[in-house]
């Protein structure tokens, strides 16, 4: 477990959904800072910020696909083509169950793809488990 990656980047344009993610983080009991981007552009800006040290990178990017502007897909493509962003855990949490979206995301090497349930209790469970797994179990290179 890396001790240096101290934050999680959540790309989510919906305030309600972001709040659900925050609730889930709280329930998962993680100590990571949660940084929010509301678009793919903003996500890239944050990742490519001035401080490029590896430990400045997030421990996890949790991304919604359908965000305003350059949407999540474009951000995804750029992240995976960026040699300065290696081994960045990227998990999609999208409302879309479109097989094309799934195909696209896995073709661009997302680490996992989840569909947002409408039922709140189940919706809460998904990011909770994601946080528990990626921030609690997964080991990343230094």
Partner 1 sequence: MNPPGTTEPTPPWGAGPYSTLRHGTALATCDSEPVHTPGCIQAHGALLVLRLGDLCILQASENCDLHLGETATQLLGHSVGRVVGAAGEAQLHQMLEREPPLPGAAYAFTLPARTGASPLDVCVHVSAGVAVLELEATSRAGQSGDPDFFALVKSAVGRLQASASVRDFCQTVTREVYGLTGLDRVMVYRFHADLHGEVIAESRHARLAPWLGLHYPADDIPLPAREIFKRIWIRPLPDAAGPLVELLPLANPDNGRALDMTHCALRGASVMYTKYLANMGVAASLTMPILRDGELWGLIACHHETPTRFPYQLRAACELVAQVASLQLKSVEHAEQLAYRLKLEGVHQELVARSAREGDLLALTEHQPSLLDAIDAGGVALYHLERWWCVGRVPEVPQLEALSAWLYEQPVLESATRPVFATEALASVCPAAAGLEAIASGMLAVALSRQRRGLILWFRPETLQTIPWAGNPRDDPPVPGPQGRRLSPRASFALFVESVRGRSRPWSDTETDAALRLRLLVLDLVITRAERLADLNADLTRSNEELDAFAYVASHDLKEPLRGIHRYAHQLLENAEALDGDNRRRVESLMRLTVRMDSLLDSLLHFSRVGRMELELEDTDLNAVLEEALEMIGARRLESRCSIGIPRRLPQVQCDPVRVREIYSNLLANAMKYKRNADAHIEVGYIGAQDSEGRAAAPDEAAGHTVYYVKDDGIGIDRRHHEQVFRMFKRMHGRDDYGGGVGAGLTIVQKLVQRHGGRVWLDSTLGAGATFYFTLPGWAVSA
Instruction: Provide the b/e sequence for 68-85 (b: ≥16 CB within 10 Å).
Output: eebbbbbbbebbeeeeeb
Our finding on whether 123 is near partner 1 (CB under 8 A) is yes
Interface segment toward partner 1; rule CB under 8 A; list 50-58, 73-81, 97-105, 129-137? 97-105
Our finding on whether 102 is near partner 1 (CB under 8 A) is no
Our finding on whether 20 is near partner 1 (CB under 8 A) is yes
**From the list 4, 45, 69, 97, which residue makes contact with partner 1 (rule: CB under 8 A)?**
97
Nearest residue (CB) to partner 1, 21 versus 59:
21
**From the list 98, 103, 107, 138, which residue makes contact with partner 1 (rule: CB under 8 A)?**
98
Q: What part of residues 66-95 is at the interface with partner 1 (CB under 8 A)?
A: 66, 94-95
Q: What part of residues 37-56 is at the interface with partner 1 (CB under 8 A)?
A: none
Binding site for partner 1 (CB under 8 A): 14, 16-17, 19-20, 66, 94-99, 101, 116-121, 123
């Amino acid at each position: 477990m890396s001790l240096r990656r101290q934050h999680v980047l959540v790309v989510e344009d919906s305030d309600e959904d972001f709040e659900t993610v925050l609730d889930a983080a709280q329930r998962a009991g993680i100590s990571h800072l949660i940084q929010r981007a509301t678009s793919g552009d903003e996500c890239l800006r944050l990742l490519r910020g001035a401080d490029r040290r590896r430990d400045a990178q997030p421990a996890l990017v949790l991304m919604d696909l359908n965000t305003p502007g350059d949407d999540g897909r474009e951000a995804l493509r750029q992240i995976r083509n960026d040699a300065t962003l290696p081994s960045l855990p990227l998990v999609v949490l999208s409302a879309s169950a479109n097989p094309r979206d799934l195909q696209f995301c896995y073709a661009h090497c997302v680490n996992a793809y989840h569909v947002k349930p409408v039922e709140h209790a189940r919706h809460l469970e998904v990011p909770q488990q994601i946080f528990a797994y990626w921030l609690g179990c997964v080991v990343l290179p230094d």
